[in-house]
Amino acid sequence: MKPLSRRNALALGVTGTAAVAAGAAGLHWSRTAGLSTGGGAALKEPVTLASRQGRLAVRLEAAPARIGIGGRTASVAAFNGSLPGPTLRLDPGDRLNITLVNALADPTNLHVHGLHVSPAGNGDNPFISVAPGQSYEYEFVLPPDHPPGTFWYHPHHHGMAAEQVAAGLYGAIIVPDPAPIPVSRERVLIVSDISLDGNGQIEQVSLPERMMGREGRTVLVNGQVRPALQAAPGERERWRLINACPARYLNLQLEGPRYQLLALDGRLLSTVSDTGQLLLAPGNRADVLVTPGEGRWTLRTDRYDRGGMAGMMMGGGTSAGTPSGLLSFDARGDPVPEPGPVPEPGPVPRLPVLRDLREEPVTGRRRLDFSMGTGQGMGPAAMGFTINGKEFDAGRVDETVSVGSVEEWTLSNSSPMDHPVHLHVWPMQIIQEGARDLTGPQWQDVVNIPANSEVKVLVAFDSFPGRTVFHCHILDHEDLGMMGVVEAR
Ligand SMILES: [Cu+2]
């Protein structure tokens, strides 16, 4: 199928856009005989487990599960039989205890992505391995000044991460704003992708697909195919979007309602601005205020060219994703649940001033080069995914930093594919990146490094001594070795 350019898609207008989305889904359905057309069911949200009096204790069982997807039963993996897993709601200063039960056939573990918590001991420690049939007691303590935001949890076992996340193991973590922005409703929207065969089994992934980063053919929102959202015209909603796809970039086309970007990766932005397009790399989150007029729209993800391996291996290849409809949004008539006038959303309150590390002394500079190389011309199997020429080794410390220091890291990408770089525990302030306007402080915990380019970030290694990792969040790349160890002392 010839890729449809953005220009062509736009030329087709609103009706055409809907047809494009339907067409992409049609392609999938025809390849998986027996599937109903799916879509259209009301959006479901996972159950929310909220802390009380500073504590939340949760048992999460990672297990094979049979889940209805697109009108048929799929064999996946899920936390507590729910895809996504339960949403965890925590306040700054809270203590979160998770009993992780491994009912999978492979070892697993748990990462609380984006939380600023200790990586030591039974905290957010990516070196933990929980064997099949075993369980593990995690404890995460949020500092009293933990920023509010949208975070998520997922397995992070080296060698298993892509497969286990692709199978359905992920869930949201929310730290609410101290002064919530008035909205009619808040929705958690976790986007994932999956490829199912005719029997509802997850398809095997080939080595070349892993090297590209696997992209499932069917894009899901909260485990559903194109769920339907309803609102009254003029209502303001807050969407907490999470890209839980192992490799797919979400190139969201925000057309129709008014979309205002409020936060990225769990950090409120210094100013709220209207936006028509949003790129979320794997692992990224965005909080968006959505205010529809009257109408019906499909939220779409469009193609995004994240490069490929052309010239590096036989067959080359690129992965630009497929245009896909994520959900339908209906704001027609008078679907207000309660009678009475629709509340006026009003202006967004003033947001807190963000820390700007450009005003603080930098005590160290380092350069991390993310690369893909064929070793000794041995063919695809010898392709190495490295950082500074080294594949991941859990027993080696690659970077040692001082607790309390501020460092400037140059993240360079000498490969022909984008790599979204994630540093655990400490968020990154982007200070230099292509054409982006960086006048205000921009904080993210997954920073995309486009092919053959570099991005500079500042990191404040606050609070927590211990060992943790930085890696490519195309989870197949991480599993193939593109991960390093940082120790804060
Ligand atoms: Cu990568």
Task: Say if CB 100 and CB 131 are below 8 A apart.
Answer: no
Please give the average per-residue pLDDT across 366-381, as a whole number. 72
Lowest mean pLDDT among 26-40, 175-189, 343-357: 26-40
pLDDT band at 8 (very low <50, low <70, confident <90, very high): very low
pLDDT digits (tens, 9 = 90+) for 66-81: 999 988 899 999 999 9
- Tell me how far the alpha carbon of residue 160 lies from the centroid of ligand 1, in angstroms: 15
Asked whether residue 348 is assigned to any structural domain, the reply reads: no
Q: Which domain holds residue 323?
A: 6-26+182-307+315-331
Residue ranges in 310-363 assigned as alpha helix (H): none
d(CA 389, CA 482): 10
Q: Is 445 helix (H, G, I), strand (E, B) or coil?
A: coil
pLDDT tops 50 at residue 9: no
Same domain, residue pair 170 and 219: no
Q: Which of 175, 207, 229 is a domain's end point? A: 175
- Tell me how far the alpha carbon of residue 59 lies from the centroid of ligand 1, in angstroms: 32
d(CA 205, CA 480): 14
State residue 374's pLDDT score. Answer: 65
Residue ranges in 191-267 assigned as alpha helix (H): 207-212
d(CA 183, CA 208): 45
Same domain, residue pair 449 and 379: yes
Same domain, residue pair 230 and 149: no
- Tell me how far the alpha carbon of residue 421 lies from the centroid of ligand 1, in angstroms: 8
- Tell me how far the alpha carbon of residue 204 lies from the centroid of ligand 1, in angstroms: 20
Q: What Cα–Cα distance (Å) separates residue 220 from each residue in 2, 173, 324? A: 23, 19, 10
- Tell me how far the alpha carbon of residue 471 lies from the centroid of ligand 1, in angstroms: 8
State residue 118's pLDDT score. Answer: 98
Using a pLDDT cut of 90, give the percent of the chain over it: 74
The CATH number of residue 167's host domain is 2.60.40.420
State residue 373's pLDDT score. Answer: 80
pLDDT digits (tens, 9 = 90+) for 268-281: 887 888 999 999 99
Domain count for the chain, please give it. 3
pLDDT tops 50 at residue 26: no
pLDDT band at 180 (very low <50, low <70, confident <90, very high): confident
Same domain, residue pair 192 and 154: no
Task: Pick 439 or 287 by higher pLDDT.
Answer: 287
Question: Going by C-beta distance under 8 Å and a sequence separation of 6 or more, which residues neighbour residue 53?
Answer: none
Cβ of 284: how many Cβ atoms within 10 Å?
A: 24
Same domain, residue pair 247 and 282: yes
Same domain, residue pair 124 and 153: yes
pLDDT band at 36 (very low <50, low <70, confident <90, very high): very low
pLDDT tops 50 at residue 14: no
Please give the average per-residue pLDDT across 419-436, as a whole number. 92
pLDDT tops 50 at residue 95: yes
* Strand arrangement of the beta sheet that strand 48-50 belongs to: 48-50, 87-89, 171-175, 149-154, 111-113
pLDDT band at 39 (very low <50, low <70, confident <90, very high): low
Residue 184 has what DSSP assignment?
A: S
- Tell me how far the alpha carbon of residue 314 lies from the centroid of ligand 1, in angstroms: 19
- Tell me how far the alpha carbon of residue 271 lies from the centroid of ligand 1, in angstroms: 30
Same domain, residue pair 390 and 472: yes
State residue 318's pLDDT score. Answer: 52
Q: Nearest CA to 378 among 207, 213, 215, 212?
A: 207
Task: Say if CB 418 and CB 452 are below 8 A apart.
Answer: no
End-to-end CA distance of the chain: give it in Å, rounded: 53
- Residue 171 structure tokens: 């869930």
Q: Which of 175, 192, 209 is a domain's end point? A: 175
- Tell me how far the alpha carbon of residue 442 lies from the centroid of ligand 1, in angstroms: 22
Asked whether residue 32 is assigned to any structural domain, the reply reads: no
Average pLDDT for the chain? 86
State residue 178's pLDDT score. Answer: 86
- Tell me how far the alpha carbon of residue 476 lies from the centroid of ligand 1, in angstroms: 8
Q: What Cα–Cα distance (Å) separates residue 186 from each residue in 183, 212, 229, 239, 420? A: 7, 35, 12, 6, 27
Asked whether residue 401 is assigned to any structural domain, the reply reads: yes
Asked whether residue 43 is assigned to any structural domain, the reply reads: no
pLDDT digits (tens, 9 = 90+) for 319-345: 667 788 999 999 987 644 444 444 556
Asked whether residue 31 is assigned to any structural domain, the reply reads: no
d(CA 400, CA 482): 18
State residue 438's pLDDT score. Answer: 80
pLDDT band at 179 (very low <50, low <70, confident <90, very high): confident
* Strand arrangement of the beta sheet that strand 228-230 belongs to: 228-230, 324-331, 295-302, 250-253, 277-280
- Tell me how far the alpha carbon of residue 4 lies from the centroid of ligand 1, in angstroms: 25
Q: Nearest CA to 448 among 383, 370, 357, 391?
A: 370
d(CA 373, CA 482): 12
How many residues would you count in the chain?
Answer: 489
Residue ranges in 295-394 assigned as alpha helix (H): none
pLDDT tops 50 at residue 231: yes
State residue 382's pLDDT score. Answer: 56
- Tell me how far the alpha carbon of residue 46 lies from the centroid of ligand 1, in angstroms: 30
- Tell me how far the alpha carbon of residue 91 lies from the centroid of ligand 1, in angstroms: 33
pLDDT digits (tens, 9 = 90+) for 290-304: 999 999 999 999 999
State residue 30's pLDDT score. Answer: 30
pLDDT tops 50 at residue 249: yes
- Tell me how far the alpha carbon of residue 248 lies from the centroid of ligand 1, in angstroms: 11
Q: Which residues surround ligand 1, an ion (CB under 5 A)?
A: 419, 472, 474, 477
- Tell me how far the alpha carbon of residue 419 lies from the centroid of ligand 1, in angstroms: 4
Task: Say if CB 198 and CB 307 are below 8 A apart.
Answer: no
pLDDT digits (tens, 9 = 90+) for 380-422: 455 789 999 999 999 999 999 999 999 999 999 999 999 999 9
Please give the average per-residue pLDDT across 118-124, as a whole number. 98
State residue 181's pLDDT score. Answer: 86
pLDDT digits (tens, 9 = 90+) for 126-148: 999 999 999 999 999 999 999 99
For residue 365, the cross-strand partners are: 408
Same domain, residue pair 385 and 480: yes
pLDDT digits (tens, 9 = 90+) for 455-481: 999 999 999 999 999 999 999 999 999
Same domain, residue pair 368 and 477: yes
- Tell me how far the alpha carbon of residue 284 lies from the centroid of ligand 1, in angstroms: 14
**What is the pTM for the complete model shown?**
0.89
Q: Which of 131, 155, 175 is a domain's end point? A: 175
Same domain, residue pair 291 and 415: no
Cβ of 20: how many Cβ atoms within 10 Å?
A: 20
Same domain, residue pair 189 and 102: no
pLDDT digits (tens, 9 = 90+) for 214-223: 999 999 999 9
- Tell me how far the alpha carbon of residue 250 lies from the centroid of ligand 1, in angstroms: 15
State residue 434's pLDDT score. Answer: 75
- Tell me how far the alpha carbon of residue 477 lies from the centroid of ligand 1, in angstroms: 5
Task: Pick 15 or 109 by higher pLDDT.
Answer: 109
State residue 132's pLDDT score. Answer: 98
